[in-house]
């Protein structure tokens, strides 16, 4: 990927708004994490440590009293571990 034109990025961010920019940035981070997990030579180790970290978050004071945050965290974690969808070359 070529480096981005920072002025164009700044202008696009202004048109999109902060929540859309954040959502787009998170999509890029999620894609990178999924690629790293898929390419890791020991995915079981990654999964073990990931599950431990998610468990710690779920029992933390921040999330343990808020079922909505916990539900979103669990769903996001499950999404990160799903295999990528294959592209359909026929389309």
Instruction: Identify whether the C-beta of residue 70 lies closer than 8 Å to the C-beta of residue 58.
Output: yes
- Which pLDDT belongs to residue 2? 67
- Which pLDDT belongs to residue 83? 80
> pTM, whole model, 2 decimals?
0.71
- Which pLDDT belongs to residue 86? 65
Residue 91 has pLDDT above 80, yes or no: no
* Non-local CB neighbours of 30 within 8 Å, separated by 6+ positions: 79, 80
Residue 36: which pLDDT band, with cuts at 50, 70 and 90?
very high
Residue 24: which pLDDT band, with cuts at 50, 70 and 90?
very high
């Amino acid at each position: 990927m070529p480096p981005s034109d920072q002025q164009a990025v700044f202008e696009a961010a202004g048109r999109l708004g902060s929540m859309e920019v954040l959502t787009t940035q998170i999509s890029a981070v999620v894609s990178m994490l999924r690629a790293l997990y898929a390419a890791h030579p020991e995915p079981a180790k990654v999964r073990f440590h990931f599950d431990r970290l998610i468990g710690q978050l779920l029992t933390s004071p921040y999330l343990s009293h808020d079922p909505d945050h916990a539900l979103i965290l669990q769903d996001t974690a499950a999404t990160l571990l799903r295999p990528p969808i294959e592209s359909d070359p026929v389309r």
